Amino acid sequence: MRKKDAPLHPLRQARLSLPRPLTQVQLAELVGIGISTVERAESGKPIRVDNIQLLCAFFDKDAQELGLLPRYGEGTPSQEATGALSAQPSTGSPPQANSGTASSESSTEGPQQVRPREIEDFVNRHEFLHSAVRVGGAIFFAPNELMHPELVDRFSNALKKPSSLDSETLHILKATTRGYWQLLIRGSVAYPYLFEAASGHLKMVVHLLKGSLLPSTRSALSAIASETTQLAGRLLGNMHLYDQAQSHYDLALVTGQEANNDTLYATALGYIGWLMNLTSHPGEAIVYLEEAKHIATHGNAYTLLCFLAAEQAEAHADIAVQVNTEQPDDHDCLRSLEAVNTFVERIQPEEETFGLFFDASRQAAYHGSCYMRLKQPHLARPALLSGLTMPEPLAVFTRGILLDLTTTSIQEQEIEQACSYIHQSLDIILPTHAMKDLHRVRRLREQLEPWAAVQAVKEVDERLRSFQGGAS
């Protein structure tokens, strides 16, 4: 029983502070989780990453605010606990510790400790790129395991050990990773479930790396591990779990280098640049993207080069607006977009893309996004509509275009059109649990506040309330 003077758990406090206070049973039903999950969370025990994500979305709070993060020195999640130890955007600081996923939320094993010293191992990321390969911090490792220092050592040792796997096995493992990428791009599976599946696949690959392998086999497995870890990082980024995504990309750099694959290593750097753009750190994004471009130019990875140049263009646009809000200088942004135009014509079907996808629709979408960022809606709209109307636009890209069109419509004060785009984007966002984009929808709604009395805005409010189970 809770002591009378003990403070309420933040989740319990949030539940009881709603305009219509909820019981644990009501909260569980509205969020779509088990009553035992609510009970565990309010008692300070760890719960699965997808359940943390759902609770954060319901209350529109991050995991820290809801008390869903372990407090150092008081015990941390058991091996079978799920960890979303930070659902808030990164601010450029070292990633917080995070744990894996599990099918069960109970554990018979004692707690493991995550020490703050290990969390500080990634403090200087730029130095990391130019120093000896190392694995540090509490990095996600496998579905049922926390990336405890002992597991870091096990992983490092696995990469250093000389049996062989047959080529068909390697082909199947690689094809499995590619299959998960396709599911992500098409938006046909909710991200928490896809993340759990991809994590199980990664666990199998890492288990195989523990064996005594021929150098060629070890390189091939390391490449699969790196690509799968990048997939997990992309999923976590889309789920608004930026710190965990960063940790995955750090590990992808290690395995990519072990695979002796420059393109794979550069792709991991590019995804870190993408993550820096997401978290509003365009200056840092350019550092990573330039590093990746320097490596990628030694090969013929034009899909990767398109992606890097496009992300650079967005970063330059954001920096230009930071420097001069009223009349941003678009020179650097347009120069990067010209590079995209050059590279996209050189893409070859046989390129090794490691989950990246780039075509004419992506080219148009990035142009539109940059013009939108530069506050040039008259140029942004036709480019975005061009990307949206091309044959078979993929869900993961369509929702981004729709949200950019929403911003463009607000810039032009086309409020009903903006609301229409929000509804179209929510049709894609909600089934996949793309919380990154749901957070963006909420920021866009804040921009619509001057038109709160307009019926179309009221309908957006009603839909967002409906998703939150009636909480406002």
Stronger pLDDT, 127 or 282, i.e. the higher one:
282
* pLDDT bucket at 373, cuts 50 / 70 / 90: very high
Stronger pLDDT, 172 or 102, i.e. the higher one:
172
pLDDT recorded at residue 157? 53
145 φ, ψ to 5°?
-140, 140
Domain count, the chain: 1
CA gap 87, 319 in Å, rounded: 25
pLDDT greater than 50 at residue 273: yes
Q: Is pTM, for the whole model, over 0.75?
A: no
CA angle 216, 221, 224 (to 5 degrees): 130
Using the 8-state DSSP alphabet, how is residue 449 labeled? G
pLDDT tens-digit readout, 175-189: 999 999 999 988 889
Which of 64-78, 148-162, 386-400 is predicted with the least confidence, judged by mean pLDDT? Answer: 148-162
Question: How many beta carbons lie within 10 A of that of residue 339, not counting itself?
Answer: 18
By the 8 A CB rule, do 373 and 411 touch? no
357 φ, ψ to 5°?
-140, 130
By the 8 A CB rule, do 409 and 421 touch? yes
User: Does some domain include residue 323?
Assistant: yes
Q: Is 298 exposed, middle or buried (0-12, 13-18, 19+ CB in 10 A)?
A: exposed
User: Does some domain include residue 296?
Assistant: yes
CA gap 206, 219 in Å, rounded: 12
pLDDT greater than 50 at residue 89: no
Give me the mean pLDDT over the 395-404 stretch.
90
Q: How distant, in Å, are the alpha carbons of 83, 188, 189, 308, 471 from that of 431?
A: 22, 9, 8, 29, 19
Stronger pLDDT, 31 or 314, i.e. the higher one:
314
By the 8 A CB rule, do 99 and 81 touch? yes
pLDDT recorded at residue 95? 35
Which of 29-38, 218-227, 341-350 is predicted with the least confidence, judged by mean pLDDT? Answer: 29-38
CA gap 87, 53 in Å, rounded: 7
Token match 């307009």: residue?
A: 454
User: Does some domain include residue 303?
Assistant: yes
Stronger pLDDT, 314 or 67, i.e. the higher one:
314
Q: How distant, in Å, are the alpha carbons of 88, 228, 318, 411, 439 from that of 444?
A: 18, 33, 17, 11, 9
Highest mean pLDDT among 97-106, 202-211, 350-359, 412-421: 412-421
CA gap 266, 295 in Å, rounded: 6
User: Does some domain include residue 344?
Assistant: yes
Using the 8-state DSSP alphabet, how is residue 143 labeled? T
* pLDDT bucket at 391, cuts 50 / 70 / 90: low
User: Does some domain include residue 223?
Assistant: no
pLDDT greater than 50 at residue 265: yes
Q: How many residues does the chain have?
A: 472
Which of 96-105, 192-201, 272-281, 446-455 is predicted with the least confidence, judged by mean pLDDT? Answer: 96-105
pLDDT tens-digit readout, 197-210: 999 999 999 989 88
pLDDT recorded at residue 469? 52
Q: Which residues contact 194 (CB under 8 A, 6 or more apart)?
A: 180, 183, 184, 235
pLDDT tens-digit readout, 42-63: 988 888 777 887 888 888 888 8
pLDDT greater than 80 at residue 113: no
User: Does some domain include residue 285?
Assistant: yes
pLDDT recorded at residue 138? 30
User: Does some domain include residue 350?
Assistant: yes
User: Does some domain include residue 273?
Assistant: yes
pLDDT recorded at residue 470? 39
| Range(s) of the domain holding residue 289 | 261-357
How high does pLDDT run on average in the chain?
Answer: 79
Q: Which residues contact 76 (CB under 8 A, 6 or more apart)?
A: 46, 70, 97, 99, 111, 112, 113, 114, 146
pLDDT tens-digit readout, 361-371: 899 999 999 99
Percent of the chain with pLDDT over 70: 77
